A and B are shown apart, each in its own frame.
Chain A
């Protein structure tokens, strides 16, 4: 079984990021790391290949600056190979463009299953996986908590507001995985050493049959017109107990419709 995992490499969320006032986008000239959301997809892929008794895990990532350290983390966890798409023309790509690029790279790998996270940590539009599925004509199953594969069929427990759906679909398919559903393994010392020797195929957009006008700022279907600071958090309401505090708290929660 061959599984492709989409791995986004993002600035370390622990370091305070900043916006580029010219492009109104996040500055990404820093060292990038694997988006933690994608570490669940990597772990799940490794477990599925184990369960299937063989196969391979291939990573696909698009970044502005040829960064591979996030991919190396996933390779050190046990993934077998990776494709990195990096091209100056990609700067400013929106979600759909990202999906188009990823879709072409994924297609080349001819996977049985594609895994992505439901949303990234830095962009969190949550649309890329569905777009990739649509572009590749694959069934798309979102919000997966559990995935099992047997005999050309994926069985997925899908998180819903009320509980979960049990979904079956034929392979190949694209499944997006929610955070926390598996425990991503720590890369081992041997894994890190081995990762250095694993193949990372570096591609530009021309290799994928795309032209500069189709991607980046030029190809974008959206424009960021303004960036504004989030409104400051309002100070909370303090309930002083004069014997009726419990009633007032209940009334407050009622108003929020959380009861």
Chain B
């Protein structure tokens, strides 16, 4: 199995040549974000990912996490030491608020570091990722006291965080959550209920775990409007803020899963005794709003998982293809399989598509930074809309495509890909969760065609497409020798078809809109990512390789976009009738 080598040049190019790190660094509050400092951070984070995290990935798959009868969860050997090293090095603090020990760096820089760590081991990376979610939630909505107590320890990573949303009867529809929270005279609440699928709900990496729990208070309105958000620590902090008495929450069992074996997916039981002690974040019945606020960030992170796993799979496939000899190259000599045009096609598909995914994800991160920091209110609002629009694209398209590409990486290995020994199969299995959690990709598509298309009656989507159209113009103006004319043609056709789909959806009935949601998301994502890849090829100082990647993506994926228009506009009536028709009985 090949080792991970973080492609720093590629990551840096996407930060500055596709996303605009220099522009972000010029925003107020980012004065300390100097280019060479960022480069130093990236280089050391890459080394940490390669040397400390990546070697654990295989054992994580083979050994996984274990649940003992005592309710303890034991992680894979090596995970705890690597986590301690991560805390010591402080990598979890990079983007957090400086008032609580964070570095105050842009999400864009955080995204690059997150990608590296995830490429090294997705199962390991989920623990810091969930902690970051808890940090985001508390930073935005916690009281001063809550922030002072929890944030420094979560930012440093000394304690870890979780998100407790899902219940047996409440997955995509969180309105069905039944966990109860009853107020006590001292201002705290007592929680009872069962949460399932809780990532790193229990583990041995840290002395305390801080659960963010969605629950319902007595008399709360039904549905999502009656949900409140609580802090429930595994150990109640004592008067010095150190982990004290054990709270009434425990991990009943962990799931056996297709992939990410090392990430414990826990069934959590709250209140087997007197009720788990929790504290309300913000106001009662306002929990869903808080969750939505931090979801943008979490969904971007999951999108990055698609990029990261595809990258790991690609590196391994490339190394295998260079070394495996089979058959003869077109010229007639015995050859490594990479010499076969069809194998080269698979590898180029992986490489070009990963670049496009990364460009999309980093631009999404940039939009989040701008939404938070642009001094001009109009610019801030535009960035906020852009982030809102790009988030479902990154989450759904990059994770679906991550799975697809992990399959291609496996295919490059032939029979050895299907055999576990090479490790390619692990990436294929690990990748598969990303389209499911943090809102299934089906839910992302619904979010896109309902909430996100509704922004200014399609105005945000129209702005995104007009940016892609500007790329078409820039391609037309580019030197013919750059070889970008095919990119211009296919991007133009993709923009036209996606604009047509957008107009159709804006006029369609709600049912028809939902029926066309997923193929529409794909159209808009491929077009947007293709424009990002083309912008990279047009960027100053861009290598000739970028034109090759942009061309390949254009003829291979952008060219399919107009063909998806029918899938948006036509199947509605058949889908509406299917439950009582072809799918009946």
Interface of A toward B, CB cutoff 8 Å = 14, 69, 72-73, 76, 186-190, 192-193, 195-196
Let me know if A192 and B44 touch, CB within 8 A: yes
Given the interface pairs A193-B103, A196-B34, the reply to whether A188 lies near B40 with Cβ below 8 Å is no
Interface residue SS majority, chain A: helix
> Are A76 and B52 within 8 A (Cβ)?
no
Evaluate contact between A189 and B103: CB separation under 8 angstroms.
Answer: yes
16 A-B residue pairs with Cβ-Cβ distance under 8 Å, sorted by A, are: A69-B43, A73-B40, A76-B40, A186-B88, A186-B89, A187-B44, A188-B90, A189-B41, A189-B89, A189-B103, A190-B90, A192-B40, A192-B41, A193-B103, A195-B40, A196-B37
Instruction: List residues of chain A with CB within 8 A of the CB of B520.
Output: none
Contacts A193-B103, A196-B34; is A186 near B40 (CB within 8 Å)?
no
> Given that A186-B44, A187-B44 are known contacts, is A192 also in contact with B37, CB under 8 Å in the complex?
yes
B403 partner residues in chain A, CB cutoff 8 A: none
Q: Is B552 part of the contact surface with A, judged by Cβ < 8 Å?
A: no
A189 partner, pick from B5, B43, B85, B91, beta carbons under 8 A = B91
CA distance A76 to B51 in the complex (A): 18
Is B189 close to A, CB under 8 A?
Answer: no
User: With an 8 A cutoff between CB atoms, is B94 at the interface?
Assistant: yes
Q: Which residues of B lie under 8 Å from residue A73 when comparing CB positions?
A: 40, 44
Given A186-B52, A190-B103, 13 extra CB contacts under 8 A = A14-B5, A69-B40, A76-B40, A76-B44, A186-B44, A187-B44, A189-B89, A189-B94, A192-B44, A193-B32, A195-B40, A196-B36, A196-B37
Q: Which residues of A contact B36 (CB under 8 A)?
A: 196
In the bound assembly, the distance between CA atoms of A69 and B36 in angstroms comes to: 9
State the Cβ distance, A192 to closest chain B Cβ, in Å.
5
- In the complex, what residue of chain A is closest to B102 when comparing beta carbons? A189
B103 / chain A contacts, CB cutoff of 8 Å: 189-190, 193
- How many whole Å from A7's CB to the nearest CB in chain B? 16
Distance from A67 Cβ to chain B, minimum over Cβ atoms (Å): 12
Taking the complex as formed, is B314 at the interface, i.e. its CB lies under 8 A from any CB of chain A? no
Q: Which residue of chain A lies nearest to B88 when distances are taken between CB atoms in the complex?
A: A188
- The CA of A192 and the CA of B42, in the complex, are separated in Å by 10
A14 to B8, CA, bound (A): 14
| CB of A120, distance to nearest CB on chain B (Å) | 20
B90: A residues at CB distance < 8 A: 188-190
CB distance from A199 to the nearest CB of B (A): 16
**B contact residues, range:** 20 to 34
Q: Nearest chain-B residue to A75 (Cβ)?
A: B40
**Closest chain B CB from A87 CB (angstroms):** 22
Residues of B at under 8 Å CB distance from A?
5, 32, 34, 36-37, 40-41, 43-44, 47-48, 51-52, 85, 88-91, 93-94, 103
Task: Give every chain B residue within 8 A of A186 (Cβ-Cβ).
Answer: 44, 47-48, 51-52, 85, 88-89
- Specify which chain A residues have a CB less than 8 angstroms from the CB of B89 in the assembled complex: 186-189
Q: Whose C-beta in chain A lies nearest to the C-beta of B86?
A: A186
- Roughly how many angstroms separate A72 CA and B44 CA in the complex, as a whole number? 11
- How many Å from the CB of A121 to the closest CB on chain B? 16
Measured CB to CB, the closest approach of chain A to B36, in angstroms, equals 8
Closest 10 CB pairs of A and B: A189-B90, A188-B89, A188-B90, A187-B44, A192-B40, A186-B89, A196-B37, A190-B90, A192-B41, A186-B48
Question: Which residues of B sit under 8 angstroms from A190, Cβ to Cβ?
Answer: 90, 103
Determine the chain A residues whose CB is within 8 A of the CB of B48 once the complex forms.
186
Of chain A, the residue at the smallest CB distance from B34 is A196
A177: min CB distance to chain B, Å = 21
What are the residues of chain B within 8 A of A69 when measuring CB–CB? 40, 43
The CA-CA distance from A179 to B260 in the complex, in Å, is: 36
| In the bound complex, CA of A249 to CA of B55 (Å) | 35
Closest to B101 in A: A190
Q: Which residues of A contact B47 (CB under 8 A)?
A: 186
**Which residues on B sit within 8 Å (CB–CB) of A189?**
41, 89-91, 93-94, 103
The answer to whether B40 touches A72, judged by C-beta atoms less than 8 angstroms apart, is yes
Q: B37 to chain A: which residues have CB within 8 Å?
A: 192-193, 196
Query: Which A residues touch B93, using CB under 8 A?
Result: 189
CA distance A188 to B44 in the complex (A): 8
Q: Which of B41, B44, B52, B91 has the most CB of A within 10 A?
A: B44
Question: Can you name the residue of chain A whose Cβ is closest to the Cβ of B87?
Answer: A188
CB distance from A13 to the nearest CB of B (A): 13
B85 CB contacts on chain A under 8 angstroms? 186
Chain B residues, Cβ within 8 Å of A192: 37, 40-41, 44
Bound-state CA distance A189–B47 (Å) is 13
Q: In the complex, A73→B43 CA distance in Å? A: 10
CB-defined contacts of A196 to chain B, threshold 8 Å: 34, 36-37, 40
